[in-house]
Structure 1
Amino acid sequence: MTTPLPSRQAARRSVVALLLAFAGSLLAGPAQSAEAAPAPGIRASYANPVREADGHVDAQATVDRLRAMNADTYAFLVNKSTDWGDLEQEFLPAAQASGLAVWVYLVPPTECPGGTSCAEYLPYKKDYVAWGQAIARLSVRYPVLKAWAMDDFNANTSTFTKDYTARMRTAARAIQPGLDFYPVVYANAVTQSFVDTYATSIDSLILPFRDDPYRDTLWTGSLRPQLDQIVARLATKSRKAILMVYASTLSRTTITPDVEYVRTATAVGLEYTKAGKLDGVIQYALPLTAGRAQSGDERVGHTGNSALVFTVHPDNATTVGDYAAASTTIRLDAGSTSCRMVVWHTDDRPATSPLGYHAKQAIVGGAQVWERDVASEGSDWYTSSPIDLTPRLSGGSATLTLRLYEKKAVTNYSVTARMDDISLTGCHVTNPGFEADGGWTYSRKGGDVLAGRHTYDPVYSTSVHAAVGALYGG
């Protein structure tokens, strides 16, 4: 059973499918193999395809963009009512012709169209055994279809019990023995108990990174420790993870991922893949249509497109003394005997907000030299008064730290604060306008206060495509 396409398009799509399937049969042999050995591991992207004006997936344009990004795998999300037909009639023939590996990516009951009954999730609704069997039959027809994945698996274990998951995988493999099954499981749910329970019913595990338990796409410092822990747990059952990097806006986060965030997390994932610790990397919803800004993003800098940003997310609890900070070295100019600094700063708290909780601060040589409460002004950009740093640079240099500091604990008092254009007289720092990467290091005490450099990119989809392509091609 398949969902029929609109009649005005059925003939055109049928012809295209036949032509692409024929092309795939010509290209499926040795002519596909490259002279150079391929880079190890999966290099994938998920969802966010190029779409036609009528909402259908533009199969060839999507495949072309994936290939230009050096991706070898695409996870095709089946969610819209037209997706299954687009997958079967256009995308798989196009992928087969190009040699692009495909996974079918399904949604669980908590995300189904039509609610948890999955009444509108067509064609197989809540019967995930039937979904697996249908995917397996497609895999027989199109051998580039290698796997199927289930989103938010760990939030749906009441449906996907150990026994039911085994039934799903077994039923699919009875039709296509090599078809893999990949659950999507967040880091805090990949316990040893989970691994012990499900290892025999899965092949690899898709691991989204979002700085659990804090849920953000700004901080990457916890990625390696999380990978090390999860890699070790999976290794006890001879299983591996595929790292999912958020290349598109993650719900209920304060700051959207920018190009540098995606580049940093992807590079770590590829490093672990090369070392044999991961099975590969997949981008979460990297936008494949060129020339678009990041969804939900906005220009953040006082000047330019970049700024230092600090956040406390709604409903996140902090404790007194928590902070997030950015640090660099401040040095006297040659021949200078004095140093003055002005900081441009802003935040999103109105002046009617409670005082005494979140403070923007500057620390030089271990001493606080400036502070401003987030509720002391409006939401425009302001400058500090000139700050004389000369006494703190007696040796010609000192550490400059800009931070957001918790003076009182909060449970639901969010803020987004920014600093930019550090103006210095008689002294200097690297990257005072935050327009380039580097020059600053980031730290935090208490993970609910975050800091990082963020860049707004009006053509984010083009830039992130190029950045990932360079890494995937390396």
Structure 2
Amino acid sequence: MIPSFWGSRSFLAVILTLGLAASLWPSRPDVTVSVISAPSRPPSSSAMIGDYGGEIREVKPRKDGIHHIDTPKMIQRLRELKVNTYFYLIWHEPTDWDDLRREFLPAAQKAGIQVWVYLVPPSEAMEKASEPFGTDYVAWFRAIGHLSRSFPNLKGVVIDDFNDNRGFFTPQYTERIQQAGKAENPDLLFYPQVYFPGITTDFIEGYHHTIDGVVMTFRDDKYRNTHRLQSLPGQVKQARQLLAPHGLPLVLMIHASKLSATPASPTVSYVDKAVRYGMDALRNRRIQGLITYVLHKVWFPEVKEHLARSGTGYASVFVSPNNLTQTGTSAGFRQRIRLSPSSRYRLAFSYMSVYPDQVPLSQMTGQYQMQLWVDQQIVWRRDLVTQDRERWEDQTVDLTSYLRGKPSALITLCLTRIKNGPPAWIYMGFDRLKTEGFTLDNPDFESVKAWTAISTSPGMIPSMLRFDPGRRIRVYITVMRLYRAFDLYQRLRSEVHRPLIRDLTEQWMGSMVAGKIEESIRQLEEMMRFLAIERELTSQKGLLLQCREMLHLLKVMESPSVLDRSD
């Protein structure tokens, strides 16, 4: 467990005075997304950079028995992050609306933080709705608009999963709720949260007059995962092209926490790379806002994701629920082994599978098969649904007849689609391999070494998943470092006018978004030397202090003692 010490002191003060444990920093990225090193024009001073959800609750319930929002700790965390915007979710407790009105909004206003109310749609309100107005969105917008007249930092409303609820949010009804808010405050904004497949010409033509912008949450659609980022630039470009003719801003939301119906939370390196892309898009005005989705601000191990049969890692294959895989496609892991003469060859291993309980087993049975291959021959197979969900089963296979007399062989563990069926997300795993008569490297999948991931369909994603007990705090620090860098960048752009320093500022941010830490350290130090002689600059001391804090964060990250964690 992370000691309670972290939750009781200023986290930033700890970092700046004591440094940070090396194992908290992200390792080299495992994904590649291109960035543009020099912006065509500087970011807008109104660029939104912020966070959604991940609220901190008070440890002790109040007299009503409810753990209310811990406003002081929330504001402390948001200020540490240097965000200018927070999407405030009203859903988890019936007191969230009152906590917003009476406590959070006044504190956020004092801290200079803009707030957007985040509401759940009817599809998420069947068992629990946002209180007190439930699915009466006219009442919600009217109340939020009225409240924003007293708190000018209350800027707008976001509705989750808007596109999946268009049967409810018809263009006529959406216009009605938008107008209810603007009748109270003409400046109140409404941004629906929409995934990339929902940002279509049809959607924009039908709704552009009823919305003020769009929040697009990235999840590698159409394959629905938080493993890969290659499609991110293209999705931003296409969404922007559709929205720009109508003057609608695009806000990019990046997952910092688990996407539902996937095997694991995004890795630290995934979040690092995604946020760096978002910063580059923001500084080039390809987007107008960047928001992290549920950046946890209280840190403890996510024990539900510790699924390995032994150790911390296992080999996994994830299939998205969009039914995009075809019969005969497969994904898994393979390794070439060298053989010495032996009277017997055996392989023991563990396997498990997870699939939705909403889909009848009769429909799932026979769709997918777990397999063990030796060279081009299947030597073991098992249907995905023949054992309990999320329960590891042990298997031993005699490979003597398949390996005898061979100098080497290719061992493959995989998942194969056998027949078509109803769309459903699934994932499965292999772990704890034990051999007799031969050896395997990395038999417990505790690293990415030795095994080669294979896939014949982009809808089947093989990954070596390893439980990271410090993931939450490492993600927080990663985002904090990048957000603080962007805040410093914006200050330097707006407050310093000497061309040499402005050029250095652009070079430095280019290195930051490219992940070139050594270069960014050198450029920041050079920039500080020139800032030190700008004695007529009224904000000189504040900028130099912020530069020194940033330099400390970068040097701690680049320290040789940093553990090389490969996510």
Query: TM-score scaled by structure 1?
Result: 0.71
CA deviation map 1:202-233 (0-9, x unaligned): 22211123333444444544434433332322
Letter paired with 1:138? L
* 1:348 aligned residue: 353
Instruction: Report whether the alignment pairs 1:107 with 2:120.
Output: yes
Pair 443,94 (structure 1): closer, same or farther in 2 beyond 3 Å:
farther
Normalized per residue, the structure richer in helix is: 2
Contact 2:337 2:409 in 1 (8 A): no
**In 2, are the aligned partners of 1:40 and 1:274 still within 8 Å (CA)?**
no
Q: 2:466 aligns with which of 455, 460, 465?
A: 455
Kept in 2, the 8 Å contact 1:358–1:408? The answer is no
Query: 1:67-466 maps to which residues of 2 (within 5 A)?
Result: 67-79=79-91, 80-112=93-125, 121-251=130-260, 253-260=261-268, 261-293=270-302, 297-312=304-319, 316=323, 318-325=325-332, 346-348=351-353, 357-360=368-371, 368=376, 372-375=380-383, 379-380=392-393, 403-411=414-422, 416-419=427-430, 435=446, 444-466=455-477
For each residue in 1:242-266, what CA deviation from the matched residue of structure 2 results, as whole angstroms up to 9, or x when unmatched?
A: 2223333444x14132334444443
Change (3 A) 1:65 1:199: same
CA distance in 2, matches of 1:370, 1:67: 57
Q: Please list the CA deviations of residues 437-474 of structure 1 after superposition, one character each: whole Å capped at 9, or x if unmatched.
A: 79988664445433223232334432332232233334
Change (3 A) 1:97 1:170: same
Q: 1:359–1:407: 8 Å Cα contact kept in structure 2?
A: no
Deviations 1:286-318 (A, max 9, x none): 332222426xx3323344323331134679574
| 1:314–1:180 CA distance, 2 compared to 1 (3 A) | closer
Distance 2:110 2:421 in 1: 56
Q: Relative to structure 1, is the Cα distance of residues 346 and 467 closer, same or farther in structure 2, using a 3 angstrom cutoff?
A: farther
Cα distance change on mapping 1:471 and 1:443 into 2, 3 Å: farther
Matches of 1:439 and 1:167, distance apart in 2: 59
Contact in 1 for aligned 2:254/2:292 (Cα 8 Å): yes
1:47 to 45, 49, 53: 53
Superposition deviation, residue 95 in structure 1 = 1.0
Whole-Å Cα distance in 2 between the matches of residues 392 and 190 of structure 1? 48
Contact 2:208/2:246 (<8 A) preserved: yes
Residue identity in the other structure for 1:301: A
Q: Which residue of 2 aligns with 1:7?
A: none
- Partner SS, residue 473 of structure 1: helix
Segments of structure 2 that go 5 or more residues without pairing to the other structure are: 1-42, 62-66, 356-363, 486-567
Contact 2:350 2:433 in 1 (8 A): no
| CA apart distance, 1:90 | 0.6
Between the aligned partners of 2:226 and 2:137, the Cα distance in structure 1 is: 31
- Greater Cα shift, 409-418 or 207-216: 409-418
Distance in structure 1 (CA, Å) of the matches to 2:393 and 2:263: 19
Residues of 1 paired with 2:178 and 2:426: CA distance? 45
Letter in 1 for 2:351: T
The answer as to whether partners of 1:219 and 1:451 remain within 8 angstroms in 2 is no
Q: Distance in 2 between matches of 1:421 and 1:268?
A: 37
Matching residue's letter, 1:469: M
Q: Does 1:467 align with 2:478?
A: yes
Letter in 1 for 2:297: L
Q: Is the 8 A contact 2:160 2:192 kept in 1?
A: yes
- In terms of mean alpha carbon deviation, does 89-98 or 433-442 score higher? 433-442
RMSD: 4.4
Deviation, structure 1 residue 147: 2.0
CA drift of 1:432 comes to 7.6
Instruction: Work out whether residues 302 and 381 of structure 1, in 8 Å CA contact, stay in contact via their aligned partners in 2.
Output: no
Unaligned runs of 5+ in 1: 1-36, 394-399
Establish whether residue 56 from structure 1 lines up as the match of residue 68 from structure 2. Answer: yes
Distance 1:263 1:204 in 2: 25
> Once the 2 structures are TM-superposed, how far is the Cα of residue 105 of structure 1 from its aligned partner?
0.9
Counterpart residue identity of residue 236, structure 2: L
Cross-structure match for 1:28: none
Q: Aligned letter for 2:306? A: R
The answer to whether the Cα contact below 8 Å between 2:258 and 2:266 also exists between their aligned partners in 1 is no
- Cα 1:299/1:236, change in 2 over 3 Å: same
For residues 305-356 of structure 1, what are the alpha-carbon distances to aligned partners after superposition, in whole Å with 9 as ceiling and x for unaligned? 233311346795742222235689x799xxx999x99795522389xx9679
- Measured against aligned partners, the alpha-carbon deviations of 1:357-381 in whole angstroms (never above 9, x if no partner) come to 4244569xxx647764234997335
Amino acid at match of 1:470: R
How big is the shift at 1:93?
A: 1.4
Greater CA drift, 313-322 or 417-426: 417-426
User: SS at the partner of 1:319?
Assistant: coil
Deviation at 1:38, TM superposition (A): 9.8
Secondary structure in 2 matching 1:309: strand
Q: Which moved more, 1:79-88 or 1:166-175?
A: 166-175
Counterparts in 2 of 1:416 and 1:152: CA distance versus 1, 3 Å: closer
Is the 2:255–2:266 contact (alpha carbons within 8 Å) kept by the matching residues of 1?
no
**For 2:194, what is the secondary structure of its paired residue?**
coil
Q: How far is the alpha carbon of 1:190 from its aligned partner?
A: 1.3
Q: 2:379 & 2:146 partners in 1: Cα distance?
A: 64
Residue pair 1:311, 1:451 contacting (<8 A) in 2 also: yes
Q: Secondary structure at the match of 1:236?
A: helix
Contact 2:346 2:396 in 1 (8 A): no
TM-score, structure 2 normalization = 0.61
* Separation (CA, whole Å) in 2 of partners of 1:436 and 1:342: 20
* Structure-2 change in CA distance of 1:407 and 1:278 (3 Å): same
Q: What amino acid sits opposite 1:56 in the alignment?
A: H
